[in-house]
Amino acid sequence: MTTMLLTESFAERGARERARALLDPQTFRELIGPFERIASPYLAAQGVVPQSDDGTVVARGTIGGVRACVVATDGRFLGGSIGEIGGAKIAGALELARRDAQRGTPTRMVLALDTGGIRLQEANLGILAVSEICDAIVALRELMPVVAVIAGRVGVYGGLSLSTALCSEIIVSEGARVGLNGPDVVETESGIEEMDSSDRPLIWRVTGGRLRLRQGFATELVSDDVPAIRDAIARAFETPNELGPLVAQVFPDPRLARDDFLRAMEIQP
Protein backbone atom coordinates (compact mmCIF):
# COMPACT_ATOMS: atom_id res chain seq x y z
CA MET A 1 0.00 0.00 0.00
CA THR A 2 1.81 3.12 -1.21
CA THR A 3 1.36 6.31 0.74
CA MET A 4 0.47 9.27 -1.45
CA LEU A 5 3.25 11.74 -1.08
CA LEU A 6 2.96 15.20 -2.57
CA THR A 7 6.61 15.99 -2.10
CA GLU A 8 9.76 14.94 -3.87
CA SER A 9 11.78 15.56 -0.73
CA PHE A 10 13.98 12.65 0.20
CA ALA A 11 14.74 13.88 3.71
CA GLU A 12 11.08 14.12 4.68
CA ARG A 13 10.50 10.47 3.89
CA GLY A 14 10.94 7.67 6.37
CA ALA A 15 13.42 4.91 5.62
CA ARG A 16 10.89 2.67 3.92
CA GLU A 17 9.67 5.42 1.62
CA ARG A 18 13.23 6.44 0.82
CA ALA A 19 14.06 2.90 -0.28
CA ARG A 20 10.87 2.81 -2.33
CA ALA A 21 11.70 6.14 -3.92
CA LEU A 22 15.22 5.08 -4.94
CA LEU A 23 14.12 1.83 -6.58
CA ASP A 24 12.40 1.81 -9.95
CA PRO A 25 8.63 2.32 -9.63
CA GLN A 26 6.66 -0.75 -8.59
CA THR A 27 9.78 -2.85 -8.02
CA PHE A 28 10.14 -2.29 -4.25
CA ARG A 29 10.03 -5.51 -2.21
CA GLU A 30 11.02 -5.38 1.43
CA LEU A 31 12.97 -8.19 3.07
CA ILE A 32 12.39 -8.96 6.75
CA GLY A 33 9.61 -6.41 7.01
CA PRO A 34 7.96 -5.09 10.15
CA PHE A 35 5.41 -7.88 10.33
CA GLU A 36 8.15 -10.44 10.81
CA ARG A 37 8.80 -8.59 14.04
CA ILE A 38 12.52 -9.26 14.16
CA ALA A 39 13.05 -6.54 16.71
CA SER A 40 15.69 -5.83 19.29
CA PRO A 41 15.39 -7.90 22.48
CA TYR A 42 17.88 -5.66 24.28
CA LEU A 43 15.96 -2.40 24.45
CA ALA A 44 12.99 -3.03 26.75
CA ALA A 45 15.26 -3.73 29.72
CA GLN A 46 16.86 -0.35 29.07
CA GLY A 47 13.56 1.51 29.02
CA VAL A 48 13.36 1.83 25.25
CA VAL A 49 10.48 0.59 23.11
CA PRO A 50 11.81 -1.39 20.14
CA GLN A 51 10.67 -0.74 16.56
CA SER A 52 9.39 -3.62 14.47
CA ASP A 53 12.06 -3.25 11.77
CA ASP A 54 14.82 -2.14 14.16
CA GLY A 55 15.09 1.10 12.22
CA THR A 56 16.72 -0.40 9.13
CA VAL A 57 14.92 -1.35 5.93
CA VAL A 58 16.28 -3.73 3.27
CA ALA A 59 14.48 -3.70 -0.06
CA ARG A 60 15.11 -5.44 -3.35
CA GLY A 61 14.03 -4.12 -6.71
CA THR A 62 15.70 -2.62 -9.74
CA ILE A 63 17.61 0.57 -10.38
CA GLY A 64 17.71 1.57 -14.01
CA GLY A 65 16.30 -1.83 -14.80
CA VAL A 66 19.25 -3.58 -13.12
CA ARG A 67 18.87 -5.85 -10.06
CA ALA A 68 19.41 -3.75 -6.98
CA CYS A 69 19.14 -3.59 -3.22
CA VAL A 70 18.65 -0.46 -1.15
CA VAL A 71 19.32 -0.44 2.56
CA ALA A 72 17.94 2.59 4.38
CA THR A 73 18.33 3.51 8.04
CA ASP A 74 15.62 5.47 9.84
CA GLY A 75 17.15 8.49 11.53
CA ARG A 76 14.02 8.95 13.61
CA PHE A 77 14.36 5.72 15.60
CA LEU A 78 17.10 6.11 18.22
CA GLY A 79 18.91 8.48 15.91
CA GLY A 80 19.16 5.82 13.24
CA SER A 81 21.64 4.01 15.41
CA ILE A 82 22.85 0.56 14.46
CA GLY A 83 22.26 -2.45 16.70
CA GLU A 84 22.59 -6.17 16.12
CA ILE A 85 19.62 -6.54 13.78
CA GLY A 86 20.09 -3.38 11.71
CA GLY A 87 23.78 -4.10 11.45
CA ALA A 88 23.12 -7.64 10.26
CA LYS A 89 20.64 -6.35 7.68
CA ILE A 90 23.29 -4.05 6.20
CA ALA A 91 26.16 -6.54 6.36
CA GLY A 92 24.02 -9.44 5.17
CA ALA A 93 22.71 -7.52 2.18
CA LEU A 94 26.25 -6.52 1.17
CA GLU A 95 27.41 -10.13 1.51
CA LEU A 96 24.56 -11.37 -0.68
CA ALA A 97 25.27 -8.68 -3.26
CA ARG A 98 28.84 -9.91 -3.43
CA ARG A 99 27.64 -13.47 -3.83
CA ASP A 100 25.41 -12.32 -6.70
CA ALA A 101 28.33 -10.53 -8.36
CA GLN A 102 30.49 -13.65 -8.08
CA ARG A 103 27.73 -15.67 -9.71
CA GLY A 104 27.51 -13.27 -12.62
CA THR A 105 24.15 -11.77 -11.62
CA PRO A 106 25.27 -8.52 -10.01
CA THR A 107 23.00 -6.68 -7.62
CA ARG A 108 23.55 -2.94 -7.30
CA MET A 109 23.94 -1.91 -3.68
CA VAL A 110 22.86 1.49 -2.36
CA LEU A 111 23.31 2.43 1.28
CA ALA A 112 20.97 5.27 2.24
CA LEU A 113 22.44 6.02 5.63
CA ASP A 114 20.94 8.39 8.14
CA THR A 115 22.56 7.43 11.41
CA GLY A 116 24.32 8.72 14.46
CA GLY A 117 26.42 5.58 14.64
CA ILE A 118 26.47 2.49 16.77
CA ARG A 119 23.56 2.06 19.17
CA LEU A 120 24.84 2.54 22.72
CA GLN A 121 22.31 0.08 24.07
CA GLU A 122 23.86 -2.67 21.89
CA ALA A 123 27.43 -1.43 21.81
CA ASN A 124 29.40 -4.67 21.50
CA LEU A 125 27.05 -6.16 18.95
CA GLY A 126 26.94 -2.91 17.02
CA ILE A 127 30.69 -2.53 16.78
CA LEU A 128 31.07 -6.11 15.59
CA ALA A 129 28.39 -5.51 12.98
CA VAL A 130 30.15 -2.38 11.73
CA SER A 131 33.41 -4.31 11.34
CA GLU A 132 31.47 -6.79 9.20
CA ILE A 133 29.91 -3.97 7.19
CA CYS A 134 33.32 -2.42 6.49
CA ASP A 135 34.72 -5.74 5.34
CA ALA A 136 31.67 -6.46 3.21
CA ILE A 137 31.89 -3.07 1.47
CA VAL A 138 35.54 -3.58 0.54
CA ALA A 139 34.83 -7.15 -0.55
CA LEU A 140 31.94 -6.05 -2.77
CA ARG A 141 33.99 -3.20 -4.18
CA GLU A 142 36.46 -5.74 -5.50
CA LEU A 143 33.71 -6.61 -7.97
CA MET A 144 31.50 -3.55 -8.39
CA PRO A 145 30.73 -0.07 -7.05
CA VAL A 146 29.00 0.49 -3.71
CA VAL A 147 27.02 3.71 -3.55
CA ALA A 148 26.27 5.66 -0.38
CA VAL A 149 23.51 8.25 -0.23
CA ILE A 150 23.74 10.62 2.71
CA ALA A 151 20.76 12.91 2.34
CA GLY A 152 18.80 12.67 5.56
CA ARG A 153 18.35 14.83 8.63
CA VAL A 154 20.91 13.12 10.85
CA GLY A 155 23.59 12.58 8.25
CA VAL A 156 26.15 9.93 9.08
CA TYR A 157 28.34 9.78 12.17
CA GLY A 158 30.27 7.20 14.12
CA GLY A 159 31.31 3.84 12.81
CA LEU A 160 29.01 4.13 9.83
CA SER A 161 30.81 7.31 8.70
CA LEU A 162 33.88 5.16 8.48
CA SER A 163 31.93 2.64 6.41
CA THR A 164 30.64 5.42 4.18
CA ALA A 165 34.18 6.53 3.44
CA LEU A 166 34.87 3.03 2.13
CA CYS A 167 32.16 3.32 -0.52
CA SER A 168 33.00 4.01 -4.16
CA GLU A 169 30.62 6.89 -4.66
CA ILE A 170 29.21 9.09 -1.95
CA ILE A 171 26.20 11.21 -2.82
CA VAL A 172 25.44 13.90 -0.27
CA SER A 173 22.87 16.61 0.08
CA GLU A 174 23.48 20.15 1.34
CA GLY A 175 21.47 19.35 4.43
CA ALA A 176 23.42 16.22 5.27
CA ARG A 177 26.39 16.11 7.58
CA VAL A 178 29.23 13.65 7.47
CA GLY A 179 31.55 13.46 10.44
CA LEU A 180 32.98 10.96 12.86
CA ASN A 181 32.09 12.54 16.17
CA GLY A 182 28.80 14.36 16.65
CA PRO A 183 29.08 18.01 17.67
CA ASP A 184 27.67 17.34 21.12
CA VAL A 185 30.30 14.66 21.68
CA VAL A 186 33.11 16.98 20.55
CA GLU A 187 31.79 19.71 22.82
CA THR A 188 31.52 17.32 25.77
CA GLU A 189 34.98 15.88 25.29
CA SER A 190 36.90 18.97 24.26
CA GLY A 191 34.87 21.92 25.45
CA ILE A 192 32.51 24.47 24.01
CA GLU A 193 35.40 26.62 22.78
CA GLU A 194 36.41 23.72 20.55
CA MET A 195 32.95 23.22 19.13
CA ASP A 196 29.68 24.79 20.21
CA SER A 197 27.12 22.12 19.40
CA SER A 198 24.31 24.69 19.46
CA ASP A 199 25.93 26.65 16.62
CA ARG A 200 24.16 24.86 13.82
CA PRO A 201 25.52 26.97 10.96
CA LEU A 202 29.04 26.21 12.20
CA ILE A 203 28.29 22.50 12.34
CA TRP A 204 27.15 22.54 8.72
CA ARG A 205 30.17 24.58 7.62
CA VAL A 206 32.49 22.06 9.27
CA THR A 207 30.80 18.78 8.32
CA GLY A 208 28.09 19.56 5.78
CA GLY A 209 27.65 18.11 2.31
CA ARG A 210 28.93 21.18 0.49
CA LEU A 211 32.28 21.06 2.30
CA ARG A 212 32.58 17.34 1.74
CA LEU A 213 32.10 17.83 -1.99
CA ARG A 214 34.72 20.57 -2.04
CA GLN A 215 37.14 18.25 -0.26
CA GLY A 216 36.56 15.49 -2.75
CA PHE A 217 35.17 13.28 -0.02
CA ALA A 218 31.72 13.26 -1.56
CA THR A 219 31.50 12.59 -5.26
CA GLU A 220 28.26 14.42 -5.90
CA LEU A 221 26.16 17.04 -4.15
CA VAL A 222 22.42 16.85 -4.74
CA SER A 223 19.40 18.83 -3.74
CA ASP A 224 16.82 17.20 -1.47
CA ASP A 225 14.95 15.85 -4.46
CA VAL A 226 14.20 12.22 -5.25
CA PRO A 227 14.63 12.46 -9.05
CA ALA A 228 17.96 14.26 -8.61
CA ILE A 229 19.16 11.57 -6.22
CA ARG A 230 18.04 8.80 -8.55
CA ASP A 231 19.96 10.46 -11.40
CA ALA A 232 23.04 10.76 -9.22
CA ILE A 233 22.81 7.07 -8.32
CA ALA A 234 22.54 6.12 -11.99
CA ARG A 235 25.68 8.16 -12.72
CA ALA A 236 27.42 6.58 -9.74
CA PHE A 237 26.93 3.11 -11.14
CA GLU A 238 28.39 4.16 -14.46
CA THR A 239 31.56 5.47 -12.81
CA PRO A 240 34.57 3.16 -12.91
CA ASN A 241 35.19 1.66 -9.48
CA GLU A 242 38.87 1.79 -8.62
CA LEU A 243 39.67 0.32 -5.23
CA GLY A 244 42.81 2.20 -4.26
CA PRO A 245 44.12 3.26 -0.86
CA LEU A 246 42.51 6.33 0.68
CA VAL A 247 45.06 9.08 0.46
CA ALA A 248 45.33 12.02 2.86
CA GLN A 249 44.34 15.29 1.25
CA VAL A 250 46.29 18.47 1.91
CA PHE A 251 45.25 20.49 4.93
CA PRO A 252 46.65 23.53 6.77
CA ASP A 253 49.09 23.23 9.64
CA PRO A 254 47.01 21.93 12.56
CA ARG A 255 49.19 23.90 14.96
CA LEU A 256 47.44 27.04 13.77
CA ALA A 257 45.03 28.48 16.29
CA ARG A 258 41.54 27.10 15.90
CA ASP A 259 40.04 30.04 14.05
CA ASP A 260 43.11 30.54 11.85
CA PHE A 261 43.06 26.86 10.97
CA LEU A 262 39.40 26.98 9.97
CA ARG A 263 39.95 30.12 7.87
CA ALA A 264 42.88 28.43 6.18
CA MET A 265 40.45 25.66 5.26
CA GLU A 266 38.11 28.32 3.88
CA ILE A 267 35.66 27.62 6.67
CA GLN A 268 34.30 30.64 8.48
CA PRO A 269 34.90 30.09 12.22
Partner 1 sequence: MSASVRGRAWFERLTGKARPVEGLPPSVLAADATIEGHAVRVIAVVPDPSARFERARNGEMGIDEGFGVAAAVNATPAGSAILAIVDVPGQAFGIREEAIGLQRSLAASTQAYIRARRGGHPVLTLVVGKAISGAFLAHGLQGGWIGAIDDAGIEIHVMSEAAVARVTRMERDDLTRVAKEIPATARDIRTFATFGAVDRIFAVSDPDAPGDADIADVVRALAEVLRTPEIGCRNPRDRLDVPAALHTRTLARRVREELQAQWDA
Partner 2 sequence: MIETLTYEFPATQSVEHRAHVGVVASGNCEILLEPAKDGRSAVVVRTSVNGFGGTWQAVLGRFFARNPVAVQIEINDFGATPAVVALRLEQALESAQ
37-56 residues in contact with partner 2 (CB under 8 A) are 37, 44, 47-52
Please report whether residue 34 would count as binding partner 2 according to CB under 8 A. Answer: yes
Chain-centre distance for alpha carbon 182 = 14
36 binds, among partner 2, partner 1, none (CB under 5 to 8 A by kind): partner 1
199 binds, among partner 2, partner 1, none (CB under 5 to 8 A by kind): none
Please report how close the Cβ of residue 245 comes to partner 2 at its closest, in angstroms: 39
Please report whether residue 268 would count as binding partner 2 according to CB under 8 A. Answer: no
The number of beta carbons lying within 10 Å of the beta carbon of residue 130 is 21
Please report how close the Cβ of residue 77 comes to partner 2 at its closest, in angstroms: 5
Distances (CA, A) of 90 to 39, 96, 97, 242: 15, 10, 11, 22
Please report whether residue 14 would count as binding partner 2 according to CB under 8 A. Answer: yes
Please report how close the Cβ of residue 230 comes to partner 1 at its closest, in angstroms: 23
Chain residues 56-95 in contact with partner 2, contact rule CB under 8 A: 74, 76-78
Please report whether residue 6 would count as binding partner 2 according to CB under 8 A. Answer: no
Nearer to partner 1 by C-beta: 2 or 105? 105
166 binds, among partner 1, partner 2, none (CB under 5 to 8 A by kind): partner 1
14 binds, among partner 2, partner 1, none (CB under 5 to 8 A by kind): partner 2
Residue 8 phi, psi (nearest 5):
-100, 10
Residue 29 phi, psi (nearest 5):
-145, 115
Report the C-alpha gap between 27 and 87 in whole angstroms. 24
Chain residues 180-219 in contact with partner 2, contact rule CB under 8 A: none
Nearer to partner 2 by C-beta: 3 or 105? 3
66 binds, among partner 2, partner 1, none (CB under 5 to 8 A by kind): none
Q: Interface residues with partner 2 (CB under 8 A)?
A: 1, 3, 14, 33-35, 37, 44, 47-52, 74, 76-78
